[in-house]
Amino acid sequence: MKPVNFDYARPLDVDGALALLADETALVKVVAGSQSLGPMLNLRLVQPDLLVDITGVEELRSFEESGDKLTLGACITHADIEDGRLPDVTHGALPSVASGIAYRAVRNRGTVGGSLTHADPSADWVSMLAALGATVTLRGPEGARHLPVEEYMLGALEADLRPGELLVSVTVPKLGSGASWGYYKSCRKTGEFAHAIGAMLIDPERGICRAVIGATETRPLVIADAKGLIGDGDPAAFDSKAVTAALTEAGMRDPIERQTHSVALRRAVEGARGR
């Protein structure tokens, strides 16, 4: 299939992009890496009047390390992260997860902002960046907003993006020196979207013990204080019954699904301990 006829614009700054997004009479879609939007256009699942390509905006392709955080422009690609083109403040978590996203061809173009905004529950960043406590910065006609990654995602394929708003950056806090993280995903095959994700961050210095279970029907299940479920991070103390109960409470009815997700989290915990 081929897309419907649409107009295309490539602004050079954020204000220019926001001006184009402000047109309320037209269906305007933002495109960055086009790794999800491209197929959706071809399948005519999206039929925009105007496509605003934001990859020409220098600000969105840059990053900034300051104090206790790293800020990534929305158009930083998975490959930028995988290849170490920006400083690592996560003890290897970001490059490691980036290197496992889909295939290299996708990573070359796919962006972190695009992935979060597309809000596919099976994608890696919606789970891992939630585990790392990252936030997004949105700019729009009403000014800027800052949201935790897990709140930015409202549900499957739905982000908290108001009319005229654009995700401009993602801010990742630096991990403490004793922090460890774990990430495990279960995929049918290399490069496929996951059908279960577990992500874990244990950062004693900052008093954080956060677990995330992703690749569910909706947004990831974030367990902000996971001490009760996983003890001190010792896999032997992993309480699979409690995790399963939490998943049931979150609406996961299928026992096989609960098992797979519980296993994914336990393996993430095992991975965190190993680092």
Partner 1 sequence: MSEQGVGASLKRKEDDRYLRGRGQYVGDIRLAGMRDAAFVRSPIAHGKIKSIHVPEEYRDRVFTAADLDADGVKPIVAVSGLAGFKVSEQPVLAFDKVRQVGELIAMCIGESRAEAEDIADAVEVEFEELPAVHDMLEARKPGSALLHEAWGDNIFLETQIDVDIESAFDAPIKITREISTARQCMVPMEGRGTVATWDSRMEQLVLYTGSQMPHIVRTGLSECLGLEQTQLRIVSPDVGGGFGYKGILLPEDICLGWLALRCGYPVRWLEDRREHLTAGANCREHHYSITAYADRDGRLRGIDCEATVDSGAYSSYPFSACLEAAQVASILPGPYDFPAYRCRTYSVATNKCPILPYRGVARTGVCYAMELMLDAVAREAGLEPAEVRMKNLVRPEQMPFNNITHKHFDSGDYPEALRRAMAHIDIEAFRARQRKGEPDGRLLGLGLSVYCEQGAHGTSVYAGWGIPMVPGHEQATARMTPDGGLELRVGVHSHGQSMETTLAQVAHEVLGIPTDKIKLVHGDTEYTPYSTGSWGSRCAVMAGGAVSTACKEIARLAKAVGAHMLQVKPEEVELAQGAVYSQTGRVTLTEIARTWYLRPQDLPKSVDPRGLEVTIGYKPERDTGTFSYAAHLATVAVDPETGDIEILDYVIAEDGGKLINPMVVDGQIYGGLAQGIGTALYEEMRFDGSGQPLASTFADYLLPGPTEVPAPKLDHMETLAPYTEFGVKGIGEGGAIAPPAAIGNAVNDALKGFGAELLHSPMTPRRVLEAIAEAKAAGTATRSDEVVS
Least distance CB 71 / partner 1 (angstroms): 31
Q: Which is nearer to partner 1, 1 or 177 (CB)?
A: 1
**CB of 178 closer than 8 Å to CB of 204:** yes
Helix (H) or strand (E) holding 28: strand 28-31
Least distance CB 193 / partner 1 (angstroms): 7
Structure tokens at 177: 């020196």
Q: Which is nearer to partner 1, 55 or 186 (CB)?
A: 186
Least distance CB 224 / partner 1 (angstroms): 24
**CB of 198 closer than 8 Å to CB of 264:** yes
Q: Which is nearer to partner 1, 38 or 204 (CB)?
A: 38
Least distance CB 78 / partner 1 (angstroms): 18
Q: Which is nearer to partner 1, 218 or 259 (CB)?
A: 259
> Nearest 5 degrees, angle CA 270-CA 273-CA 274?
90
Count of beta carbons in the 10 Å neighbourhood of residue 176: 16
Cα 226 to Cα 116, 207, 231, 242: the distances in Å are: 24, 11, 8, 11
Q: Which is nearer to partner 1, 91 or 266 (CB)?
A: 266
Structure tokens at 240: 């699979």
Task: Point out which residues bind partner 1 (CB under 8 A).
Answer: 1-5, 39, 43-44, 186, 188-193, 195-196, 240-241, 244, 255-256, 258-260, 262-264, 266
Least distance CB 197 / partner 1 (angstroms): 12
